[in-house]
């Protein structure tokens, strides 16, 4: 079974609108971390936001927020006030276990296109 | 935050040859991770490199094909050996920074002809 599922291969959003990118995860660990990355066409992986499994509040970083629903095992990324520069691939990822020195498992990604 | 550099940033190689990719971090880290991203795909972990011990490889990746060195706490290399066109990918190294962030290098874009 896939550990990270991103069901939206592609999404379109109007500039200045908000958009939600879906991510569900599967783990039996009680301690884990969830990450979102942005990958523009240049190929670099840009860290956006992190949510720990024990964090009670949803993480926020500027225009990015993570809608964490633990019981549903979902960790959706919300981008507010979309900008043309937000057009990129977005990957959801998970680290299982409490240790930081653990690699990430990635979803297949969602390609976001922002329309002027 | 950790600043990671990779060399080369891109290369075009002939089949049958080998390429060594370097990853340098601006701070000491215990673990370094190497990922591969094939065209149009997501990231797949190749191996975990711990300083002072042999790298741990994921299923489907072997040391003879992807030898890794980790001579100190700030540096690692990944070699792609006896390359074929199927090895054309972006190769990325990453490090953990305190558990709530994992930073990636800018990647090495490899094309094998």
Spatial distance between the Cα atoms of B77 and B80, rounded to a whole number of angstroms:
10
B98 has pLDDT over 80: no
> Would the CB atoms of B45 and A104 count as touching at under 8 Å?
yes
Average pLDDT over residues B72-100: 93
Closest among B67, B68, B76 to B95, alpha carbons compared: B76
Q: Does B76 touch chain A (CB under 8 A)?
A: no
- What pLDDT, in 10s, does the model give residues B28-47? 998 999 999 999 999 999 99
- Which residue has better confidence, B1 or B94? B94
Q: How many CB pairs under 8 A join A and B?
A: 57
Nearest C-alpha in B relative to A52: B100
For chain A, what percent of residues have pLDDT higher than 70? 99
State the pairing for strand pair B75-80/B19-25.
antiparallel
The C-alpha atoms of residue B47 and residue B68 are separated, in whole angstroms, by 8
């Amino acid at each position: 079974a896939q550990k990270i599922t991103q069901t939206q291969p592609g999404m379109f959003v109007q500039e200045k609108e908000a958009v939600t990118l879906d991510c569900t995860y599967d783990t039996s660990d009680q301690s884990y971390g969830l990450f979102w990355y942005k990958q523009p066409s240049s190929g670099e992986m840009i860290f956006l936001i992190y949510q720990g499994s024990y964090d009670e509040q949803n993480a926020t970083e500027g225009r990015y927020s993570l809608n964490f629903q633990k019981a549903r095992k979902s960790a959706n990324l919300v981008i507010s006030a979309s900008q043309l520069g937000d057009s990129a691939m977005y990957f959801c990822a998970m680290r299982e276990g409490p240790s930081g020195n653990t690699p990430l498992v990635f979803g297949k990604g969602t390609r976001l296109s922002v329309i002027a | 935050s950790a600043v990671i550099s990779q060399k080369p940033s891109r290369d075009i190689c002939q089949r049958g040859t080998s390429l060594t990719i370097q990853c340098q971090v601006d701070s000491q880290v215990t673990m370094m991770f190497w990922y591969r991203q094939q065209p149009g795909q997501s990231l797949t972990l190749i191996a975990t490199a711990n300083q002072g011990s042999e790298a741990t490889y994921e299923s489907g990746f072997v040391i003879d094909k992807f030898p890794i060195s980790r001579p100190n706490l700030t540096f690692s290399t990944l070699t792609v050996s006896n390359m074929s066109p199927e090895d054309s990918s972006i190769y990325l190294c990453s490090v953990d920074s305190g558990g709530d962030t994992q930073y990636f290098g800018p990647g090495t874009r490899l094309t094998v002809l």
